[in-house]
Amino acid sequence: MKLDLKELIGIAASTRGNIESTVIQEVTKDSRVNSPQSLYIPIAGEKFDGHNFLLQAIEQGAVASLWQEGTPIPQELDPAFPLLIVKDTIEALQQAARVFLKKVKPVVIGVTGSNGKTTTKDLLEAVVSTSFKTHKTKGNYNNHIGLPLTILSMDNDTQVIILEMGMSNFGEISLLSKLSQPDLAIVTNIGESHIEYLGSREGIAKAKLEIKDGLKEGGLLIVDGDEPLLSHLSSPNVLKCGYDEDCTVKIVNQEGDEDGFTFGLEGESTIYSLPLLGTHNVKNAAYAIAVGHYLNIEDSAINEGLKNITLTNMRLEKYRGQHGALLINDAYNASPTSMIAAIQAVKDLQNYKKKVLVLGDMYELGPSEEEMHRKVAAHIDETISEVITVGEKGKWIGEEIKKKNIPGQNVSVFLTKEEAAGAISSLLSEDTVVLFKASRGMALESIVKPFIDDVQEAGK
């Protein structure tokens, strides 16, 4: 990015230092990271106050800083050093993002949903970047601080920006949508994530649909067409993607194997190829195709983008394990919906005699957490040869599966990852596939790494 600091004077209550001739090429909130020609954003947190680290930020390349009113300015600070003095540095960061967004004027795509946000974001980038200069949310920069930082990190010639929008409570998506004013908004699905705070799936749907609050007039809303809680949405500016007869973007002729899927869309002749596991990812790809059509991208370019998708880590990530086993690391996070989808992805694999599930705790499910864990067991049948559960909550899944007494199926319940790891090693062979799935707090990926034989992804 490149921005004259004087373009941000409007967000300041007052200024100090040399504002007029200062140019910023980066925005940072981390005084420890080398950030040449940057605008420093000091944020007062629970443990640390970023204002205390301004001098370190300057050593790392900061040429200007926001500064919260009432906070003492370091005596040793050069009086010529530019400060934009604001009422609140987080609100000022958001205002700065609005200024830069209006300057660059990219097409804005907002993505939210209980599951699949990050994969859909990656698919969108793969498709859109075939034809446009594209920028997307990196990592988990999807909240009231991360989203404006994402906007302020795009190049000035960016044509399309893809913004992931996360939340844990009401009002948060609304803020992000109003801040970014998307031209297109996508709701990938409605699951159970954060149900502890939102009360019900109906509450989750309401919170996710806040993405409409900032949608530009005439903007396009793309939603999961198979979700009953979204069925009431009906207008020329709403696209429903999925398998239901009423979907405006209907997936047809789907076929899959270990290498991914081929599928079409009703009314089209193009056959799309997707090198990802999981039927749910076909729907995520359909969202990206719908956006591609909206942006008038040729089908051949869309297909090429899908074929070359690079996913963010720990999303159904395939590795070749010891003794030739296929390891699937889907351990970034989990809810009942995403865990069931990952289990189905394993069940769909035809070339493996032994299918092993390593399932851990799912968090933020509220008072119904035990029931929701136990319901996962209903989706585990005789095609699964081994189930290993990890953690105090994961054990509920194991206990429920044991009640089914499926012939030939072994179920092991462990409280620690170390115990589970000991049981996995003896199961690995060429005809074995192992899925690792749990909430982020479990860090289940730590027991995947020792079993990886090839650091390259399987099949690549």
With contact defined as beta carbons under 8 Å apart, do 161 and 109 qualify?
yes
Greater confidence (390 vs 257) lies with 390
- 270 DSSP 8-state letter: P
Q: For 275-331, what is each residue's pLDDT tens digit?
A: 999 999 999 999 999 999 999 999 999 999 999 999 888 999 999 999 999 999 999
What pLDDT is recorded for position 455?
52
Mean per-residue pLDDT for 195-201?
92
What pLDDT is recorded for position 460?
37
CA 44 to CA 52: how far, in whole Å? 9
Any binding-site annotation on 200? no
**Dihedral sign, Cα of residue 363, residue 364, residue 370, residue 372:** negative
Mean per-residue pLDDT for 216-230?
98
Share of the chain above pLDDT 90, in %: 94
Q: For 360-410, what is each residue's pLDDT tens digit?
A: 999 999 999 999 999 999 999 999 999 999 999 999 999 999 999 999 999
Any binding-site annotation on 391? no
Any binding-site annotation on 118? yes
CA 447 to CA 437: how far, in whole Å? 11
What pLDDT is recorded for position 451?
96
CA 87 to CA 17: how far, in whole Å? 18
48 pLDDT above the threshold of 70: yes
The kind and range of the H/E element at 148 are helix 146-151
Q: For 84-101, what is each residue's pLDDT tens digit?
A: 999 999 999 999 999 999
The kind and range of the H/E element at 186 are strand 184-187
Contacts of 379 (CB under 8 A, 6+ apart): 340, 343, 344
Strand runs labelled E in 342-395: 354-359, 386-390
Pull the structure tokens for residue 48. 């640390």
Any binding-site annotation on 116? yes
Pull the structure tokens for residue 209. 């649909």
The kind and range of the H/E element at 112 are strand 107-112
Pull the structure tokens for residue 78. 């050069």
With contact defined as beta carbons under 8 Å apart, do 128 and 291 qualify?
yes
459 pLDDT above the threshold of 50: no
33 pLDDT above the threshold of 80: yes
What pLDDT is recorded for position 139?
85
Structural domains in the chain plus CATH codes = 3-87 (3.40.1390.10), 105-307 (3.40.1190.10), 317-457 (3.90.190.20)
Instruction: Please give the mean pLDDT across all residues of the chain.
Output: 96
Return the number of other C-beta atoms located less than 10 Å from residue 64's C-beta.
Answer: 24
Mean per-residue pLDDT for 107-121?
96
Which phi and psi (to 5°) does residue 456 adopt?
-80, 150
Any binding-site annotation on 115? yes
The SS3 assignment for 113 reads coil
Q: For 427-453, what is each residue's pLDDT tens digit?
A: 999 999 999 999 999 999 999 999 998
Determine whether 231 is exposed, middle or buried from the number of CB atoms within 10 Å of its CB (0-12, 13-18, 19+): middle
Any binding-site annotation on 114? yes
The β-bridge relationship of strands 249-257 and 260-265 is antiparallel
Which phi and psi (to 5°) does residue 391 adopt?
105, 165
Q: Which of 21, 66, 14, 22 is nearest to 40 (CA)?
A: 66
458 pLDDT above the threshold of 70: no
Contacts of 374 (CB under 8 A, 6+ apart): 396, 397, 399, 400
CA 9 to CA 22: how far, in whole Å? 12
**Dihedral sign, Cα of residue 290, residue 296, residue 300, residue 302:** negative
With contact defined as beta carbons under 8 Å apart, do 367 and 443 qualify?
no
